[in-house]
Amino acid sequence: MADLKIGVVLGSTRQGRLGEHVANWIMDRTADRDGADYELVDLRDYPMPFFDGVSPAYVPPSDPEVQRFAAKIAEFDGYVFITPEYNHSFSGVLKNALDSIYPEFNNKAAGFASYGSLSGARAVEQLRLVSSELQLAHVRTQLAFSIFTDFSGFGTPDVEFTPGPQHEVGAEGLFGQLEAWAGALRQVRQPVAA
């Protein structure tokens, strides 16, 4: 068992979501890594209410479902956020999850895997801004999958994930950077000796 823990956050809950294919692909590639243990966190398993309270930077959440999500997120040293691109941004359910908690993300590392008609590039641009506000250090390398070239049968019930070989190299880069930053930031979170 590795010292570091990375949460792979599946940021879509839609029926027929493509993110599930991406999540399975990532989990397959992280199964034998020595640098960290990776665990899937599916937002379908955390049906949180729409955020409408005081910022969790100031007041801890009181909703039991949000508290359960916060406890899970607190276990990790870093994250891979998987997001579709909706209207030039990332999914609303992922935004709600990020808005609902705060200190559990602070001084940790984040990487991104996206998919869409432009490979989700614009979604990750938005996600990087939000991550910075959450004090998440995001790594440069990202995985970006096209619905036109990395999926076959898109728009049908028989859709398959068929990513090109270049994504294997990208995945190695992403995981390596994420593990390095997650390890370094753990030192930032350690209390200073008196």
Residue 153 is predicted with a pLDDT of 86
CA dihedral 192, 5, 179, 40 (to 10 degrees): -140
Q: How far apart are CA 9 and CA 157, in angstroms?
A: 24
- What the chain holds in terms of domains, given with CATH numbers, is 4-189 (3.40.50.360)
Q: Mean pLDDT over residues 67-74, rounded?
A: 98
pLDDT digits (tens, 9 = 90+) for 130-161: 999 999 999 999 999 999 999 998 778 889 99
Q: What percent of the chain has pLDDT over 70?
A: 97
Which helix or strand (DSSP H or E) is residue 64 part of? Answer: helix 64-74
Residue 97 is predicted with a pLDDT of 98
Residue 2 scores a pLDDT above 80 = no
Q: Cite the beta strand spans of 22-177 per DSSP E.
A: 36-42, 78-84, 108-116, 136-146, 151-152, 160-161
CA 115 to chain centre: 13
Residue 194 scores a pLDDT above 70 = no
pLDDT digits (tens, 9 = 90+) for 82-139: 999 999 999 999 999 999 999 999 999 999 999 999 999 999 999 999 999 999 999 9
25 closest CA partner among 170, 128, 180, 183: 170
Q: How far apart are CA 145 and CA 160, in angstroms?
A: 13
Higher pLDDT, 10 or 153: 10
Residue 48 scores a pLDDT above 90 = yes
